[in-house]
Amino acid sequence: MMNENVEQHNAHGGFPWKHVIGLILSLALTLIALWIVVSYSFSTTFTLASIIILAIFQALIQLLFFMHLNESKSRVWQIIAIGFGFFTAATVVVGSLWIMAYSL
Amino acid sequence: MIADIKAFLSDFLVLGDPLIYGADISIVLSMVAIVFVLSYFKKWKWLWKEWLTTIDAKKIGIMYIIAALLMLFRGGIDALLMRSQITFPNEGFLDSQHYNEIFTTHGTIMILFMAMPFIVGMMNVAVPLQIGARDVAFPYLNALSFWLFFVGAMLFNLSFVIGGSPDAGWTSYTPLAGAKLDPGPGENYYLIGLQLAGIGTLATGVNFMATILKMRAPGMTLFKMPMFTWSSLITSLIIVFAFPVLTVALALLTIDRLFGAHFFTIASGGSPMMWANLFWIWGHPEVYIVILPAFGIFSEVISTFSHKKLFGYKAMVWSMVLISALSFVVWLHHFFTMGNTAAVNSVFSISTMAIAIPTGVKIFNWLFTLNKGRIEFSTAMLWALAFIPNFLIGGLTGVMLAIAPADYQYHNSYFLVAHFHSVLIGGTVFGMFAALHYWWPKMFGHVLNEKLGKISFWIFMVSFNICFLPMYFVGLMGMTRRMYTYPEGLGWMPLNVVITIGAFGMGIGFIVMVYNIYWSARYGKRDKTGDPWGGRTLEWATTSPAVEYNFAHIPKVETADAFLHMKEKGTTGQISKAPFKPIHMPNNSGKPFIQAWLMFFAGFGLVFEWYWLAIPAAAATMLVMAFRSFEYHDHHYIPVEEIERTESATGRLN
Amino acid sequence: MSSVASNQSNKPYEPLEYSTEDGRLRILGFWIFLGAEIVLFSCLFATYLVVHSHTAGGPTSKELYDVKEFMIETFLLLISSFTCGLGTHELRRHNAKGIIIWLIITLLLGLGFIYMEVNEFVKYATEEGATVGRSAFLSGFFVLVGTHGAHVSLGILWMTSIIIQLAKRGVTAVTARKVFIVGLYWHFLDVVWIFIFTAVYLTGMVL
Ligand code: HEM
Ligand SMILES: [Cu+2]
């Protein structure tokens, strides 16, 4: 991944490599996820697990390549805010599914 | 035609109940009185310029606190009505419907419209001063937060006289609260009123996180922050991640009720338990939202009046951090009895007990702070000292409730009612009263009378125990929560009589406190020093009340208890020392007020499903936001001459 | 290229949107708000997943979802996130015109997405009898996907207003901050969509 120095050079001109790579990666991951599903050649568990992992990678790509999550002086707080958000989100989704499992 | 109008009015206005006619009359009378007084003293302009359009956190804080006291009054009246009804067996003072409405409004108002604004008010009053900032990070948003809370509270209270109050409990469980079993505007008021206030609170959380993280005075590292600021930071964090859950839960039930969706219905595959699930995912963190700031206040008060450094500062902080995460993983303990698997109940039972550990750590830290301190029994300190045993009772009974199998016995009994009042009153309310006495001089420039303060403390605190300790026992005897009457011959009457006596005693204690506020405003000792208690933190470094810009020079911080350190070094004069530089301040604005009232009308339209009102009002709200986006001149500089004038008026400029 | 005073060479490079205290505060504040939005959407996801099988005899996800449609929607949003990122890239070069062009392209892609989504909803409702009130599953579907759609629509209005402000005022510390923040919002909606794509559409094909 590109470090901040590269980013700074980019900022003063040059080709937006970071964004192009981000786009290519996200398109690729999307297509892989689609393929895993429509090929119907994997078990349900594997299919679901792998597309969820791919989605998490996609989210990281957006956060790091497009949203500059880890720049600025308050990057620690930004990362904590998003991290705590994902922690709570995971708790809500997994917890609710587990608690409501009797009715799924 | 006339019949139509009559039919409409009898739906719209709540008719046929003397209590409500009384309320109608007193509302109209007080409105007339307010308008008259404002006009007679030509105060309209003053009201608009100084209060309604203010974006100064100190003033916003005061408005929050006034609103909270009013709501405490309303919620307290509700409580006394309930207690009057269930003192003796088979009373007919309130019927069941009326009783349902009253415990619903009591609970909702006390949590959302009393505890929350009290806390947020204290944060507004104290946090910017404690960290040596001139205001919060987003003053305009702060005003909007307040007005959203305010109109949310107004909308909720309006239900009493227009359309009828909600009646499904403050938890508003489905399917009871769904459109099928509870038609009419009552529950809509609950949903929309809370929605507006909740959005305001969410914005407050964002605001104070940014403020505390980024606007501390130079040198004030995180671990040199006052403990109340720490607790406000953690509280804001919990608000930011818990309140969206409430937003969604309320929105989904609103969509169910207004647009015929099936999230929580019984028909068409809805899942009523999902409401309880979502409600408590927010609800449990919410109880930490209302208790942590009180913990922060107790830390300040105990340290100040023991004349000692807070014991175990780091342990205090880390236990709060731990609580912030744990508070999100315990919510199921509110519905152990819904009949989930043993595995689910055990996990949540254990996580709930785990949260008692950091809380216990804090109790010991306060005790060790007191240990060998030079204790001064001021009123604020009395509230803090009384908190420790009273909260402990609530905490220990909480651990009892956390034992899932035992909870099948305690659940929804008066044992539970006693438990949560022990923590809510013994913790939050005592904390807010301590803060009220402690920061009163900072807000208004005079101290509250200590003698009256102590009288009200003793009356309230003793009555509190007379009221709530017997509830544990009557609960174990089988009396359940939310029952509007009970039959003879169960042996419950003696305890119930005692409980009611205690409840009225608390009312008297509150009246003495209000009288103290009035008395002290007229005759109370003025605070010329800005530091009436021998304070340790920066809010005492400036004048009482603080000047508009808080500090002429932003103080430099070297240690925790920064002001104490400045006093020891003799550098307190630095804050008001010439030469000054112009100070950058945001402009006042009427837009938050206007936007909030537009949202009030949009909400009112939704309550009655009047889309002709809701849609235009919502569109107008968007317009105000757009205007705001195009506004570029929203700040000004206070010139040096004005700072000199202000500072010499306070006598600080030599 | 450097129409606005650039940073002094001896100072470390600092983008314009971070150059004022106000800008730094608002950017951090917006990140915190996005943290809250993550939780907001997670509740909608949780609800949708809980009621996913509660179709009450109405249409199921397998019957409704159409691969071609949701793939086009996905590509529109993914590419719009990229073009929006290029807007931020031009922002770092203080090139107002470049920003405006990329933002307008982003807007058009966003409008295309909304057009597709509205069509999809209308088709479900008219051809399959799938409405919010039909079943718990459909309530969950329409509210989750609809909330995202409402966010995108709001983003379109917001971005339009910022383009106007940018055209009027050029790249300043204030407009730079606004462009940066609306960009964050837009990318964030893409993140949400990725999860809708995964947990709603793809999962709906499997389960
Ligand atoms: C004067 C002091 C108070 C008295 C005498 C009092 C009395 C009561 C009583 C009798 C009930 C339950 C009635 C029933 O279930 O039938 C109740 C419920 C409740 N109270 Fe209080 N209360 C007081 C203060 C407070 C405060 C300060 C709070 C919160 C900060 C609070 C929060 C609640 C809540 C959340 C409920 C549950 C409502 C429901 O069941 O939906 N109360 N109170
Ligand atoms: Cu709880």
Judge contact between B214 and B259, C-beta under 8 A. no
* CA dist., res. C79 & res. C71, Å (int): 12
In short, whether B111's Cβ falls inside 6 Å of ligand 1 is yes
Q: Are residues A83 and A66 in the same domain?
A: no
B239 touches A: beta carbon within 8 Å: no
* Average pLDDT, integer, range B562-581: 90
B269 touches C: beta carbon within 8 Å: yes
Is B511 exposed, middle or buried, given 0-12, 13-18 or 19+ CB atoms closer than 10 A? middle
Is the predicted pLDDT of residue B643 greater than 80, yes or no?
A: yes
**Tens place of pLDDT for every residue, chain C, 207 residues?**
333 334 444 455 678 888 899 999 999 999 999 999 999 999 999 999 999 999 999 999 999 999 999 999 999 999 999 999 999 999 999 999 999 999 999 999 999 999 999 999 999 999 999 999 999 999 999 999 999 999 999 999 999 999 999 999 999 999 999 999 999 999 999 999 999 999 999 999 988
* CA dist., res. B60 & res. B150, Å (int): 11
Please report the pLDDT score of residue B626 as a whole number: 94
Please report the pLDDT score of residue B512 as a whole number: 97
Q: B7 or A58: whose pLDDT is higher?
A: A58
Closest chain A residue by Cα to residue B245: A92
Please report the pLDDT score of residue C12 as a whole number: 55
Instruction: Select the residue of B242, B271, B329 nearest A100 (Cβ to Cβ).
Output: B271
Judge contact between B101 and B166, C-beta under 8 A. yes
**Domain extent for A94:** 72-104
Structure-block tokens of residue B437: 């006495």
Q: Are residues A66 and A99 in the same domain?
A: no
Cβ count near B476 (within 10 Å): 14
Q: Are residues A95 and A45 in the same domain?
A: no
Q: Are residues A53 and A95 in the same domain?
A: no
* CA dist., res. B318 & res. B559, Å (int): 19
Q: Are residues A56 and A86 in the same domain?
A: no
In short, whether B289's Cβ falls inside 6 Å of ligand 1 is no
The answer to whether the predicted template modeling score (pTM) of the entire model surpasses 0.90 is yes
Within 8 A of B341 by CB-CB distance, chain A residues are: 101-102
C119 residue type, one letter: N
* CA dist., res. B286 & res. B283, Å (int): 5
In short, whether B119's Cβ falls inside 6 Å of ligand 1 is no
Q: Are residues A79 and A94 in the same domain?
A: yes
- Report CB contact under 8 Å: B137, C25: yes
Q: Are residues A50 and A2 in the same domain?
A: yes
- Give me the number of domains chain A comprises: 2
* CA dist., res. C38 & res. C47, Å (int): 14
* Res. B654 pLDDT band, cuts 50 70 90: low
Interface of B with A in 386-405 (CB under 8 A): none
Judge contact between B574 and B129, C-beta under 8 A. no
* CA dist., res. A85 & res. C90, Å (int): 30
* Average pLDDT, integer, range B562-582: 91
CA of B264 vs chain A CAs: smallest distance (Å): 13
Please report the pLDDT score of residue B515 as a whole number: 97
ipTM for this prediction? 0.95
Q: Are residues A56 and A78 in the same domain?
A: no
Instruction: Select the residue of B207, B214, B268 nearest C136 (Cβ to Cβ).
Output: B268
- Report CB contact under 8 Å: C50, A104: yes
Domains and CATH numbers, chain C: 69-207 (1.20.120.80)
Centroid of ligand 2 to alpha carbon of B328 (angstroms): 9
Within 8 A of C32 by CB-CB distance, chain A residues are: 77, 81
Distance between alpha carbon B458 and the CA centroid of its chain, in Å?
23
A85 touches B: beta carbon within 8 Å: yes
Mean pLDDT of chain B: 94
Q: Are residues A83 and A61 in the same domain?
A: no
Is the predicted pLDDT of residue A5 greater than 70, yes or no?
A: no
* Average pLDDT, integer, range B451-464: 98
Please report the pLDDT score of residue A6 as a whole number: 40
- Report CB contact under 8 Å: B269, C26: no
What residues form DSSP beta bridges with B277? none
Q: Are residues A65 and A80 in the same domain?
A: no
pLDDT tens string C122-171:
999 999 999 999 999 999 999 999 999 999 999 999 999 999 999 999 99
Closest ligand 1 atom to residue B510 Cα is 1
Distance between alpha carbon B212 and the CA centroid of its chain, in Å?
20
Q: What letter does residue B534 receive in the DSSP assignment?
A: -
Within 8 A of B241 by CB-CB distance, chain A residues are: 84-85, 88
Rg (CA), chain A: 18
Structure-block tokens of residue C149: 């759609």
Determine which residue's CA is closest to atom 9 belonging to ligand 1: B79
Please report the pLDDT score of residue B19 as a whole number: 76
Determine which residue's CA is closest to atom 13 belonging to ligand 1: B482
| Architecture of the B43-589+634-649 domain | Up-down Bundle (1.20)
Judge contact between B442 and B122, C-beta under 8 A. no
3-class DSSP assignment, residue B638? strand
Is the predicted pLDDT of residue A17 greater than 90, yes or no?
A: no
Cβ count near B137 (within 10 Å): 25
Determine which residue's CA is closest to atom 36 belonging to ligand 1: B107
Q: Are residues A21 and A49 in the same domain?
A: yes
